[in-house]
Amino acid sequence: MGDDSSASYIHMVHHLIEECIIFNMSKEECMEALSKHANIKPVITSTVWKELEKENKEFFEAYEKRREEKAVQEGDKSTGSKT
């Protein structure tokens, strides 16, 4: 029983993290967003994120790379927090 809800919860966090990735967020930004909007403890977000990273290494590597490039591109324009 507890497993089910845990699994569901993890799945939900996973889903939310994917959405954050669509927003091109960093892990930290994601933690903040989920904590703020979904009341998910940052540690949980961070853990699930890391686990996802382990399972999807290539994706996350590419993702990071893209983010870096974008950050460089938009470095002078960006006014918000874009880590």
Q: Which has the closest alpha carbon to 48: 35, 58, 37, 62?
A: 35
* Residue 3 interacting with other proteins (CB under 8 A): yes
Asked if 65 is part of the footprint of other proteins (rule: CB under 8 A), the reply reads: no
- Smallest separation, CB 28 to other proteins (Å): 14
- Least separation in angstroms between CB 15 and other proteins: 5
Site for other proteins in 26-45 (CB under 8 A): 33-34, 37-39, 41, 43-44
b/e 8-27 (16+ beta carbons within 10 angstroms → b)? eeeeebeebbeebbeeebbb
Shortest Å distance, C-beta 47 to other proteins = 5
The yes or no reply on residue 11 touching other proteins (CB under 8 A) is yes
* Rounded Cα–Cα distance for residues 26 and 30 (Å): 6
